Structure 1
Amino acid sequence: MEVVAMRIGVIGLGDMGSGLAKNVIAAGFECTGFDLAQGRMEAFAALGGIPAASAAEAATGADAVFVMVMTGAQAHDVIVDQVAPAMAPGSVVLLTATILPDEAAAIGRALDGTGIALVDTPVSGGFPGAQNGTLVMMAAGSDAALDRARPAMEAVSATIHRVGTEPGMGQTVKACLQSLNGAIFAGVFESAALAAAAGVKGQVVHDVFVNSSAGCPAVRAALENIIDRRFEGTGSHIATMYKDLTIVMDMARSLGVPQFTASTAMQLFQAGKTRYPNGDNWSVTRITEEITGKELHR
């Protein structure tokens, strides 16, 4: 298949952004990137990327730029003040970070009249999906912008859902998804702790759960990490999921929608984040394990 000649920028080269860059480069695109952490820049260069001295430099001459930062404030600063002014009219900013829908909408309004299109496209799939190029994208933007950015998006994603036309709609769908993911994780953590207290072996729990009607990739990943006691370095940092759940609750509050299960999940993640600030999502299980004095091992 012929590679479309495009220059792609990636801002934010952490667990997720490094995967975006890896797959953009593997697809044959020229890729410039920027991150505040020097170690990440060195790893990016080792992949074959072109390190930039700033976000603006990474965006200069780019046809499309992925922005994978942590917060809405960071996204606004990077896109509105640094990236968009360096890009030519007709180019596209791909907002892959997860932020509040209102924050994405505000960024879209700030780009009105600039000739720079914004595609609001948060992703799902975590670290494995980012590294393997199998992310699910929830993309909102004009048909023209989505069509222009399609080659870059296909380089990092196995499934691209067009969920709307206006910035903020992608983030809205992502928040709904994270409400569900939070509930799934909370259920796994509590059922794993229950099994540990009852003396059930982790392998038994794993085999039954993943082959039952409740089995899904999220359940499988959570259980495998719990029973193998991998609580750090799996690419699913607890702070990220906690942030996403706060977005869920903010959106639910603004719409007047009760979120009984998601609110419980958020509090579980708050406890886990406080107790294990460097941990990954699965660390939440340890909170209940500490109460019971029983751990689930394979």
Structure 2
Amino acid sequence: MRIGLIGLGGMGRGLAKNMAAKGIDLTVSDLDQSRVDHAVGLGAKQGSTAAQMAADCDVLMICVTTAEAVQSIALGPDGALAHMSPGDVLVDHTTVSAEHVDLMRAQCDAAGVRYAEAPMTRTPAHADRGEVNILFGGDEELIEHLRPVFGTYAENIFHVGPAGHAIRLKLIHNYIAFANVATFCEGFALAAKEGLDMSKVIGIISAAGGKSGMMDLYGELTLLRDFTPHMSLSNAQKDVRYYAEWLEQAGLPGFMAQSVHQTYALASIMGHGDEGCTAVIKAYEDPTGVEAKLPEAQ
């Protein structure tokens, strides 16, 4: 299969690296030419426009940041979809909205193109090592068709159910994860304001029911003041926003979701959107001038 990949950011960069290393016929594109040059140095080919890549490839993958970005690439007379052939596959690796997935599937069906809903979990470090998790929603034949490609950069490929289920499960997962981050950051900020020993704070929480996967990943880094954007705050805000909108569309109360979203939104408005997701703690710290940190933090 001739594979095209649009989007070489945190996750896409690792996907390209592993596909190229394992002999995939890969063409890449990104708004940042330095990312393209890096992928070409690893064995990929440089693509041109989305339309041309769509015409030249059997499988076109899009791994960008938002549903709106995917639609700008794929839809319209100059979009990728208009230049794909019947039977081609459009793989959507972006964390998008539930509404977007339903729209894209309908558009692809009308064009005779197979839409592969395949959001990912884990971090850019996992992508670099070829260890992402892929959540796939759709029919068995399509996932088996793509499995040899997915297998070059995924540790786990989960077939979670029919069309539409993968993105919905991904949004639930991300909401829970980012709500957890917002919660422990709030607690850390309060502990710091009240003068608690932060090494004891994180030690006690991690030894009991407050322990979580996100705290294992980011708790100590937060208190070391390391806000490297492994997952940016702006992306966290976007994912929680999609979840909150979907929750409302489903007719469920969204008190908690809106609170989490507005906390990330405030931190972003304060200028921390390009930092890591745990920079949400600064929404609590900045007004007080107190930082939650371990004694060894710089």
Q: Same fold (TM over 0.5)?
A: yes
Is the Cα–Cα contact under 8 Å of residues 21 and 43 in structure 2 kept in the other structure? Answer: no
Aligned letter for 1:169?
H
Shift of 1:239: 1.1
Q: Residue 179 in 1 paired to residue 175 in 2?
A: yes
Letter in 2 for 1:291: P
Report how many aligned residue pairs link the two structures: 291
Shift of 1:86: 4.1
Partner of 1:3: none
Tell me, in whole angstroms, the C-alpha distance in 2 between the residues paired with 1:216 and 1:235: 18
* 2:189 alignment counterpart: 193
Q: Distance in 2 between matches of 1:159 and 1:209?
A: 30
Structure 1 residue 60, shift from structure 2 partner:
4.0
Tell me the SS of whatever aligns to 1:112: helix
In the alignment, what sits opposite 2:141?
Answer: 144
Q: Which one of 210, 213, 216 corresponds to residue 217 of structure 1?
A: 213
- Once residues 113 and 264 of structure 1 are traced to their aligned partners in structure 2, the CA distance between those partners, rounded to angstroms, is 39
Q: Show the counterpart of 2:123.
A: 126
Residue 46 of structure 1, CA deviation: 2.6
Matched letter for residue 22 of structure 1 = K
Q: How does 1:65-84 map to 2 (within 5 A)?
A: 65-81=60-76, 82-84=79-81
Within 1, Cα distance between the matches of 2:208 and 2:23?
A: 41
User: How far does the alpha carbon of each residue in 1:52-107 deviate from its partner, in whole angstroms, 9 at most, with x for none?
Assistant: 11223334443322211222232123234533344444332211111221211111
Distance verdict in 2 for CA 1:220–1:86, change over 3 Å: same
Alignment gaps of 5+ in structure 2:
none
User: Of 159, 173, 184, which residue of structure 2 is paired with 1:162?
Assistant: 159
8 Å Cα contact 1:273-1:279 kept in structure 2: no
133 and 211 in structure 1: CA distance in 2 versus 1, 3 angstrom threshold: farther
Determine the structure 1 residue equivalent to 2:224. Answer: 228
- 1:28 pairs, out of 23, 41, 48, with 23
Which ranges in structure 1 are unaligned for 5 or more consecutive residues? 1-5
SS at match of 1:190: helix
Q: Is 1:95 aligned to 2:109, yes or no?
A: no
Given that 1:178 and 1:244 are in contact with CA atoms closer than 8 Å, whether structure 2 keeps it comes out as yes
One of 39, 44, 48 as aligned partner of 1:49: 44
Q: What is the identity, as a one-letter code, of the residue corresponding to 1:38? A: Q
Matches within 5 A, 1:247-286: 247-275=242-270, 276-286=272-282
Q: Deviations over 1:106-147 (max 9, x none)?
A: 111111153421111111113223222222222112211111
**Root-mean-square deviation (CA), in Å?**
2.1
**Structure 1 residue 294 corresponds to structure 2 residue 290:** yes
CA distance in 2, matches of 1:144, 1:96: 18
Query: TM-score with structure 2 length normalisation?
Result: 0.89
How big is the shift at 1:297?
1.9
CA distance in structure 2 between the aligned counterparts of 1:133 and 1:262, rounded to whole angstroms = 32
Question: Distance between the aligned counterparts of 1:26 and 1:202, measured in 2?
Answer: 43
- In structure 1, which of residues 58, 79, 92 is the aligned counterpart of residue 53 of structure 2? 58
Percent identity over the alignment is 25
Q: Shift in Å at residue 262 of structure 1?
A: 1.9
Q: Matches of residues 11-22 of structure 1 in structure 2 within 5 Å?
A: 11-22=6-17
Normalised by the size of structure 1, how large is the TM-score?
Answer: 0.89
Residues 12-68 of structure 1, C-alpha deviations (whole Å, 9 max, x = no match)? 111121122122223331221111222222222233221111223334443322211
